[in-house]
Amino acid sequence: MEAKNRIIVALDVSTLDEALGLVDLLQPEVGFFKVGLELLTSEGAPKVVQAIKEKGGKIFYDGKFKDIPNTVAGATRAITRLGVQMFNVHCLGGPTMMKKAREVAEDEAVSRGITRPLVLGVTLLTSLDYEDLVEMRLMDELNIADPKELEEVKNGRIKRLVQNLAYL
């Protein structure tokens, strides 16, 4: 793997012009560009993805899909058709939803003769702290006893869950 393919730059801007300025500047040194909700909502996913692809950029679609399996399947079909290299789902959507996303991405890619996008799982948002998770009543579910263990979870368990999702 080329070193630059290990680098993902977040295009956390609200206009396509700003995003493409960053792509022009960084594309020779960066493997992937992460497009998130602000840019996708402001400009529209097909328009954003197409414009970045035309510049030679590879795309990580940060939509954090989380809904009933059939709805996520539809979103997965659409994003796979756009030709992104990776996208994510929220693991709290459950294993059935995650497996469905993986299966649909594979089926859609095969039917179009393209490479299947990598499906990543988001387990916990990095903005959540221990108190947030206690308030959300997730600490018992996650079997986490204290703030220190939460950091270990973020650094260890998450990596394993994401690796496991890649093999679903």
The domain locations on the chain are 3-122, 126-168
- What integer pLDDT is reported at residue 168 of this predicted model? 45
Catalytic residue, from 4, 53, 66, 67: name it: 67
**Closest listed residue to residue 37, CA positions, set 57, 7, 66, 77:** 66
CATH architecture of 3-122: Alpha-Beta Barrel (3.20)
d(CA 125, CA 37): 14
pTM of this structure? 0.82
**34 in a known ligand binding site:** yes
- Copy the structure tokens of residue 20: 């493409």
47, 16 in Cβ contact below 8 A? yes
Respond yes or no: is residue 132 known to be catalytic.
Answer: no
Give the pLDDT score at 23. Answer: 98
64 classed as catalytic: yes
- Residue in the structure block whose two tokens are 């996650």: 142
What would you measure as the largest C-alpha separation in the chain, in angstroms? 48
Mean residue pLDDT across the chain = 89
Q: Is 96 annotated as a binding residue?
A: no
Please indicate if the annotation marks 12 as binding a ligand.
yes
Q: Parallel, antiparallel, or unpaired for β 8-10 and 32-35?
A: parallel
Sequence-ordered strand ranges (E) for the chain: 8-10, 32-35, 58-65, 86-90, 118-122
Q: Does residue 62 have an active-site annotation? A: yes
pLDDT digits (tens, 9 = 90+) for 136-157: 877 776 677 778 877 777 666 5
Task: List the chain residues with pLDDT less than 50.
Answer: 165, 167-168
Buried b (16+ CB within 10 A) or exposed e, 5-22: eeeebebebeebeebbeb
